[in-house]
Structure 1
Amino acid sequence: MVVVVDKNLPQERVEKIIAELNRYGFDVHKSTGEKYIILGALGVQPGFDIRKIKMLEGVVDVFRITEPYKLASRRFKDEKTIIKVNDIEIGGDEIIIIAGPCAVENENQIMKLAEVVKNNGAKILRGGAFKPRTSPYSFQGLGEEGLKLLRQAGDSFGLSVITEIIELSHFELIEKYTDIFQVGSRNMYNYPLLKILGTSRKPVMLKRGMSATIDEWLMSAEYILSGGNPNVILCERGIRTFDTSLRNTFDISAIVSVKDKTHLPVCADPSHAIGYRDKIIPMARAAVAAGTDALMIEVHHDPDNALSDGPQALLPEQFSELMKQIKEIAKVIEKKF
């Protein structure tokens, strides 16, 4: 349930309300908004009489959340969550661009691409150091060496960095180097991994599973939020349907739909959704027009020889053109870019 508390209530009174909720067996998550303090009381107690809490001093209202996801719900927090990454805000008035190669291949490659994305207005550098590939014979990433190179490139060009975590044993290692954890579509249902990411204070970008409903996606986000990490970014990266003309079906409607259900920011990844570079720019434009808070784009200066997903990587000149087009769309929808 959600307990709405007067924001001007003295802290000791707020703590007494929290203590009372704890006494009744609820775990409490606190969120402070512009007008009220919101206490999310988590615990399965269908018969609990909410009047016991509603009568407490300073409590404005109490209501139950019917959705299975509680902390991700707009009923828990109606105001948009804005996630701060160094000097960047994701979920605010600015469209944030995340760009770079699918995988870090060597120092020359990642430094060259970091310069390209920086010069064209991106603020976050992407690059995989551990790559979950469909084939066991495909390039699996450079591991820690890739993390070091990604961090070096980001620091050299003033970019924050994001990289994928694929297993629990990599958590402490990746946390040393990255600014944002990325959870790939294959791991959206990896609940032990989501739980450990809930203990971190670094943001987590959670990609939608290939066959996941929006509610299932939000339930996975709930695992991270309930662990104490409020910094979750949802990423639409295409879903698997009966159609096989493209790599996946890019569900642009999900960008609009999920924002009705949650306060969390949303990112769109047309590169993975489409899989073909000649179709990525129009789909990226559509995602921006639909209201995505961030855009993740793969870029490579030599995609024909890329070790991972070359066909879906934009060439530097294509990326530059996309940035110009996004700037014009941003004006129309009154977003900063």
Structure 2
Amino acid sequence: MIIILKPATATAMQAKLVSQFGADHEIFTHNNRIAIQGLRPEALPADVQAASESILTAVPAAVQSSRLFHPEDTIIKTPHSVIGGNQFVMMAGPCSVESAEHVDQMAAVAKQGGATIVRGGAFKPRTSPYSFQGLGETGLQYLRTAADKHGLDMITEVMDDEHVAMVAKYTDIFQIGARNMQNFSLLKAVGQTQIPVALKRGMSATIDDVLNAAEYIAAGGNHQIMLLERGIRTFDNKYTRNTFDLGAVPVLQSLTHYPVIVDPSHAVGTWELVTPMAMAGVAAGASGMIVEIHDQPTQALSDGPQALKPATYLKMAQQAFQLHDLMQTWA
């Protein structure tokens, strides 16, 4: 249940409800709204009912993530970036941190294209245990150095709750990979921090699945969450790595206040298709994108086929920002 209170008495009514029902129910407050889990409207005191503008009973399980509870967009601010609302953020970098020199070069290219966030994996969850698994903490150090040198924020994947404290020493944004979207101990661990979290939609996850996963993070007290649409697994992956669910962008934006970011690289898996799908993501209204770049994709230690060469990335990024600006004039 979500109670929308009259602004003049909202604070007093919220305090009364927390005092009366807080011991037995989960309660969340936001501005003049209060969500109470498991309580029926008839149990509310008469003065609270009189002080209410409306009482919503058809409430999703992911209540803190819902626009019914939090109508305005969440805006996430990092040292070099503003994520959410009418802003458009570019995140770019190699799939894996391969060396200090290489990630430095790719960070320079990322910034040249307008990115304010450099990406790179230091811990890589791979399908085969014999594939490159990442450089670990050394990779985090290389990525942090490159980000600082070029005035960028850093995003990198954290794979398990045991690594959260270590990764937190280096990163500006945690990335939760698709395979870990429902790793609830990891979600709880990043929820205990105040570091922004980019949560990727799982390969077979529904919209409600990803919203409920985000709720695990919010339940820990961390509300700096963004959702990444990176394609889902369907019956046909002959021509693309996944099926890019562009419809998920406006659907998520209607349901949640968190920024929605698109990942065309993982969605299609082939560099030739990344630019058109990146443009489609912008047109769908995404708050930003994350793409993979590499100067020698055939030599990349992971996901080379989907990486954009620098010149291709720079052209794509220019087009993406132009399209976003054009769309703002139509809003």
Q: Scaled by the length of structure 2, what TM-score is found?
A: 0.93
What residue is the counterpart of 2:205 in the other structure?
Answer: 212
1:325 aligns with 2:304: no
Contact kept in structure 2, 1:50 and 1:63, CA below 8 Å: no
What residue is the counterpart of 2:35 in the other structure?
Answer: 40
Q: Which residue of 64, 67, 70 maps to 1:71? A: 64
Residues 118-154 of structure 1: per-residue CA shift (max 9 Å, x gap): 1221011101010000010110001100111111111
What residue is the counterpart of 2:99 in the other structure?
Answer: 106
RMSD (Å) for aligned C-alpha atoms:
2.0
Query: Is there any run of 5+ residues in structure 2 with no aligned partner, and where?
Result: none
Q: Which range moves more in the overlay, 250-259 or 77-86?
A: 77-86
Task: Label 1:296 to 1:54 Cα distance change in 2 as closer, same or farther (>3 A).
Answer: farther
Task: Label 1:61 to 1:20 Cα distance change in 2 as closer, same or farther (>3 A).
Answer: farther
What residue is the counterpart of 1:28 in the other structure?
Answer: 27
What is the deviation of 1:56? 6.6
Q: Which secondary structure does the structure 2 equivalent of 1:334 belong to? A: helix
Q: Which range moves more in the overlay, 13-22 or 257-266?
A: 13-22
Task: Label 1:311 to 1:16 Cα distance change in 2 as closer, same or farther (>3 A).
Answer: same
Cα distance between partner residues in 2 of 1:53 and 1:283:
54
What residue is the counterpart of 1:297 in the other structure?
Answer: 291
Q: Which residue of 168, 183, 190 maps to 2:183? A: 190
What is the deviation of 1:87? 4.2
Query: Is there any run of 5+ residues in structure 1 with no aligned partner, and where?
Result: none
Task: Label 1:13 to 1:243 Cα distance change in 2 as closer, same or farther (>3 A).
Answer: closer
Task: Label 1:50 to 1:294 Cα distance change in 2 as closer, same or farther (>3 A).
Answer: farther
What is the deviation of 1:256? 1.4
Cα distance between partner residues in 1 of 2:235 and 2:27:
43
Cα distance between partner residues in 2 of 1:108 and 1:313:
18
Q: Which secondary structure does the structure 2 equivalent of 1:206 belong to? A: strand
Task: Label 1:325 to 1:156 Cα distance change in 2 as closer, same or farther (>3 A).
Answer: same
Cα distance between partner residues in 2 of 1:176 and 1:53:
50
Cα distance between partner residues in 1 of 2:131 and 2:100:
20
Number of positions where the alignment pairs a residue of Structure 1 with one of Structure 2: 329
Aligned-pair identity in percent equals 42
Residues 157-210 of structure 1: per-residue CA shift (max 9 Å, x gap): 110110001111101001111111111110111111111111111111111110
Q: Which range moves more in the overlay, 220-229 or 49-58?
A: 49-58
1:81 aligns with 2:80: no
What is the deviation of 1:231? 1.1
Q: Which range moves more in the overlay, 87-96 or 199-208?
A: 87-96
Q: Which residue of 130, 139, 160 maps to 2:132? A: 139
Residues 272-292 of structure 1: per-residue CA shift (max 9 Å, x gap): 010000110000000000000
Cα distance between partner residues in 2 of 1:303 and 1:318:
12
Residues 306-329 of structure 1: per-residue CA shift (max 9 Å, x gap): 111111110000011012211321
* Partner AA of 1:261 in structure 2: L
What is the deviation of 1:72? 1.2
What is the deviation of 1:50? 4.6
* Partner AA of 1:260 in structure 2: S
Trace 1:143-222 onto structure 2 (pairs within 5 A): 143-222=136-215
1:308 aligns with 2:302: yes
1:254 aligns with 2:226: no
What is the deviation of 1:48? 5.8
